Amino acid sequence: MTPLEKVLAETRRYQHALLDFSARERNGAVELAIALKDSRLGLHTYYAPVHARDIEHPQFTWTFQRYLYDCMHDYLVEMFIETPQNREQRP
């Protein structure tokens, strides 16, 4: 099984009400892709590298889950339109 196939197989184990998970190969590396199911909102797809050493690790299933959850958190935070911090930075 190739590294991409391994990551794709792992993403298929997760079903989410709002998000779709997949992976792609880019520049010889594997990237995790997280996208909102409702594409009408026009939000970007989140891409995160999955390192070869992590894919090859015997605990990949568990480290992938933690990484997926961390990436989901980052993606959802990126969706903020307004925060108190960016309001304070305006003149």
Q: Over the stretch 27-64, which tens digit does the pLDDT of each residue have?
A: 999 999 999 999 998 999 999 999 999 999 999 999 99
Range 73-85 average pLDDT: 91
Which pLDDT does position 91 carry in this prediction?
A: 62
Which pLDDT does position 26 carry in this prediction?
A: 96
pTM summary value: 0.88
Residue 86 has pLDDT above 90, yes or no: no
Contact by Cβ (8 Å): 4, 30: yes
33-57 b/e (C-beta count within 10 Å ≥ 16 → b): bbbbeeeeeeeeebebebeeebbee
Which pLDDT does position 85 carry in this prediction?
A: 80
